[in-house]
Chain A
């Protein structure tokens, strides 16, 4: 298996623009997580899905952020409009089943820079 695949690897955009991050989880994994990593706050959970259904989006910072999972093999995280404080590395992760006893498989992340 190729692992969790994220695109793009790097994104540089200007404030106010729309940004879309993409993720393909490992086949057969029922859970998908979106995390954001910064030096100050570390890895923060934004939202997670179970069988394509959003379960907990309490970590989404504000209405400018939205996430979808139209099918089992694809998810997007959208920021509209983007702001400089959104600059961070965004990770997608998947796990076979839910629960903290399951290990997470992370993608390589998307480095987002908002100028």
Chain B
């Protein structure tokens, strides 16, 4: 069956450290993988997109990697801040489809 698994439901880290979130997928062949941030009571907000032929993408303190052999994406937040506390969702497509499939998310808490 198809699955998108994010490493853990919750992750706590100390301010200033690097947070690393994992997204593993099974029985998908995505051409694109996206990461979203969701705050309580709000809809997800787009952060980054990475294509299957890209190994790494960066945006300010964010970095995403995409390994189609391992079927895994890693999402890093460097120099984390309490304001980074939120739930982070990965989303990917299935070849030929116009819609995205989402993981259940990882709730990140950055402790001051």
A101 within 8 A of B: yes
Determine which residue in B30, B102, B103, B105 has the highest number of CB atoms from chain A within 10 A of its CB, and name it. B102
Q: Are B89 and A43 in contact (CB under 8 A)?
A: yes
B side interface size, CB within 8 A? 26
SS class of chain A's interface: helix, strand, loop or mixed?
A: strand
Q: Which among B41, B44, B93, B103 is the interface contact of A100 at CB below 8 angstroms? A: B93
A45 within 8 A of B: yes
B92-107 near A? 1/0 per residue, CB < 8 Å: 1100011111111100
Q: Are A45 and B99 in contact (CB under 8 A)?
A: yes
Closest CB of chain A to B51's CB: distance in Å? 8
Q: Are A43 and B41 in contact (CB under 8 A)?
A: no
- A-side contacts of B98, CB under 8 Å: 31, 48, 50, 55-56, 98-100
Q: A33-B99, A55-B98, A98-B98 are in contact. Are A106 and B43 (CB under 8 A)?
A: yes
Q: Are B44 and A104 in contact (CB under 8 A)?
A: yes
Instruction: Look across to chain A and name the residue whose beta carbon is closest to the beta carbon of B46.
Output: A103
- A-side contacts of B111, CB under 8 Å: none
A interface residue count range (under 10 / 10 to 19 / 20 to 34 / 35 or more):
20 to 34
Residues on B lying within 8 angstroms of A by beta carbon are 30-32, 34, 36, 41-46, 49, 51, 89, 91-93, 97-105
Known interface pairs A50-B98, A55-B98, A109-B42; 17 further A-B residue pairs with C-beta atoms within 8 A, sorted by A's residue number: A42-B105, A45-B99, A48-B99, A91-B43, A93-B43, A100-B32, A100-B34, A100-B98, A101-B49, A103-B34, A103-B49, A104-B36, A104-B44, A105-B46, A108-B43, A109-B41, A109-B43
Residues on A lying within 8 angstroms of B by beta carbon are 4, 31, 33, 35, 41-45, 48, 50, 55-56, 91, 93, 98-101, 103-109
